[in-house]
Amino acid sequence: MAEPLIMINDYRIDPEHTDEFLGRFEELVQVVEAQEPRMLYFAEHLTGDRAEGSTVQVHADAANMEYHLELVGGRIAELVGFLEFLGIRVYGSPTEPVLEQLRAIAGDGVVVKPLAVGCDRFPRA
């Protein structure tokens, strides 16, 4: 049984482009909602002053993370220009292609923590 993969990106948002960033992120959410049934949670969270944000993603498995990057990689590349990455945390076991793409975005700021012990109640296909 495949384990879920959780990813949290933390970043500062260019204050001159916060509204544009959020508008484009909303478009991204619409694509994910329509075309990624195995994305269990996908959301943008902001600090009260909207200076920093976090994208939280819960994928059914590592294969869905690969699919996500293929599906929306171009849109993500557009958003990166508005951001200064503080780090990317991955909980689970991502594939090497996923790690390569994340490291291209955040360099050494990518931290992976594979599952040691746990349980989940996420629905399975």
* Domain assignment present for 123: no
- What CATH number did the domain enclosing 42 receive? 3.30.70.100
Range of 21's domain? Answer: 5-113
* Domain assignment present for 68: yes
- The total of other beta-carbon atoms located within 10 Å of residue 14's CB is 14
- The total of other beta-carbon atoms located within 10 Å of residue 7's CB is 22
What is the sign of the dihedral through the CA atoms of 106, 108, 109 and 113?
A: positive
pLDDT of residue 123: 73
User: Does the pLDDT of residue 54 top 90, yes or no?
Assistant: yes
Lowest mean pLDDT among 15-24, 43-52, 91-100, 113-122: 113-122
Looking at the 3D structure of the chain, how many domains does it have?
Answer: 1
CA 97 from centre of chain: 15
* Domain assignment present for 21: yes
C-alpha–C-alpha distance, residues 46 and 82, integer Å: 14
| Average pLDDT for 61-76 | 93
* Domain assignment present for 34: yes
* Domain assignment present for 13: yes
* Domain assignment present for 122: no
* Domain assignment present for 121: no
